[in-house]
Amino acid sequence: MNIETRDFKKAMKQYLKPLFLLSTILFSYYLTFYLLPSLKIGISFGYILRSLFWFVIAKFAIFFSSRHEEHKLEYSYSLAKTAFWTGFLYTAIFFLSGFVYGFGESPYDLTLKGMLINAMLVLGFLLGIEFSRAYFVKFFSRKFFLSSLVLTALLFTFVEISPGVWGAERKPQEMIVFLASRPLPLFSQHLLASLLVFLGGPLASIYFRGVLLAFEWFSPILPNPSWIFKSFFAVTFSVIAMLVIGTINREKLPSGESKEEGLKGAISWVAVGIAGVLIVWFFSGVFTYKPVLIAGRSMEPSIKIGDIAVGTKALSRDLKVGDVIIFVKERGKIVHRIVKIEKTGEGLLFFTRGDANRVADSDPVREAQIIGKVAFVIPKLGWVAIGLKNLVNLII
């Protein structure tokens, strides 16, 4: 056996443990959302089985970590306290948003029996995820520091959302709202938890995530903020917390990163996070611009399938023949050109036609149906949303 073959087998053997742990986590996902519901064993018993399986996953992660000195988990009690108060502050601010947006009742069973079963599930889920996170980050961060944080955050974001939610049919704008209201806040929390586990071990991330999960599962009332607030608050809070905690503990960053580099890296996370939220807001129409994904060929060659038509508000009286407008019909948002305008006793009627169509649209557009006038077009960008949607449907 030559040296190259020996080294390859050694490397493959080294990665067997993280691959096995990843497989058990994905199997838990399958168990939770596919296998147990098909067995019809009852919700309570299903919760108990799920919690036991997550306890087993936690045990595997602890065992694998103890087998190698370089993968052995560390526990920082001082950083755990910081993580606890970080989670408390996050929860407090989120709770206060309820006084602005209103509160709703908890969807979880708050009877004594229900709370005991939920507590077992949450504890197993929390320990399983955080000890697995700690093992993955410890294993990969020596060579792939940033990738280990991001990929673990992506993995556990995926695990927390059911396949039915991931694969639900949504229009492009609905998909943006969904991503901003659920996956993006979760990813931000998990990214912060991954940094905490790198700096202070699993105890730090357990304290941080434990506070968040305890509030979500056991509070009798929960705030009901808008998705705009959820996305902005979660991302901004998480990246600022990463900046502060990362700067205070910058001596624990991987070797080769100076204090200044660590600070710049944290600031870049703030910039990227906030920029991401602003982009999401833009494409969901929070600002005065209203983007629309072009899914048909009726406006070719001026506007092609996969383009993004960006509209802006315009008064009906200012519109003229030749303008391209965005309006609402029963089948959704349509982007067509005005070919004729008629003034009636009930207001203006706009007759429209797609540039590629031979005849005008059968029904005129009323003023109330108009969303805006197309200000500019972003070529091809819509294919990203189409591709992501197809990828999610393929995976689920």
Tokens of 216: 């979500």
Query: Could you tell me if 159 and 27 are in contact, meaning their C-beta atoms sit under 8 angstroms apart?
Result: no
| pTM over the 0.75 mark | no
The confidence score (pLDDT) of residue 392 equals: 47
Cα distances from 195 to residues 160, 205, 217, 230, in angstroms, run 19, 8, 24, 21
3-class state of residue 142 by DSSP = coil
The confidence score (pLDDT) of residue 219 equals: 94
The confidence score (pLDDT) of residue 281 equals: 59
What's the rounded Cα separation, in Å, for the pair 288 and 176?
17
The confidence score (pLDDT) of residue 257 equals: 45
Domains for the chain: give ranges and CATH numbers.
3-284 (no CATH), 289-395 (2.10.109.10)
What's the rounded Cα separation, in Å, for the pair 335 and 374?
8
What's the rounded Cα separation, in Å, for the pair 227 and 281?
10
Cα distances from 306 to residues 288, 309, 379, in angstroms, run 22, 10, 7
Angle value at C-alpha 59, between 53 and 62, nearest 5 degrees: 145
The confidence score (pLDDT) of residue 292 equals: 82
What's the rounded Cα separation, in Å, for the pair 20 and 337?
57
The confidence score (pLDDT) of residue 259 equals: 45
Say if strands 370-378 and 365-366 run parallel, antiparallel, or are unpaired. Answer: unpaired
What's the rounded Cα separation, in Å, for the pair 226 and 234?
12
Cα distances from 272 to residues 217, 238, 266, 267, 294, in angstroms, run 31, 12, 10, 9, 27
One-letter amino acid of 27: F
The confidence score (pLDDT) of residue 335 equals: 93
Backbone angles phi, psi at 307, to 5 degrees: -80, 165
Which residues have C-beta within 8 Å of that of residue 372, sequence separation ≥ 6? 290, 311, 312, 313, 314, 325, 326
Cβ-based burial of 273 (10 A; exposed 0-12, middle 13-18, buried ≥19): buried
Which residues have C-beta within 8 Å of that of residue 204, sequence separation ≥ 6? 76, 79, 80, 82, 83, 196, 197
Enumerate long-range contacts of 27-31, CB under 8 Å, 24 or more apart: 28/53, 28/54, 28/57, 28/128, 28/159, 29/158, 29/159, 29/163
Query: Could you tell me if 84 and 90 are in contact, meaning their C-beta atoms sit under 8 angstroms apart?
Result: no
The one-digit pLDDT tens for each residue of the chain (396 residues) are 555 556 556 666 778 889 999 999 999 999 988 888 888 777 788 888 999 999 999 999 999 988 777 778 888 899 999 999 999 999 999 999 999 889 999 999 889 998 999 999 999 999 999 999 999 998 888 788 878 888 999 999 999 999 888 888 777 667 777 888 888 889 989 999 999 999 999 999 999 999 999 999 999 999 998 888 888 888 889 888 888 888 888 777 765 544 445 445 545 655 666 666 666 556 555 556 677 888 888 999 989 888 888 888 888 888 999 999 999 887 788 999 999 999 888 889 999 999 999 999 988 999 989 988 998 888 877 676 656 555 545 544
What's the rounded Cα separation, in Å, for the pair 151 and 18?
13
The confidence score (pLDDT) of residue 288 equals: 65
What's the rounded Cα separation, in Å, for the pair 393 and 391?
5
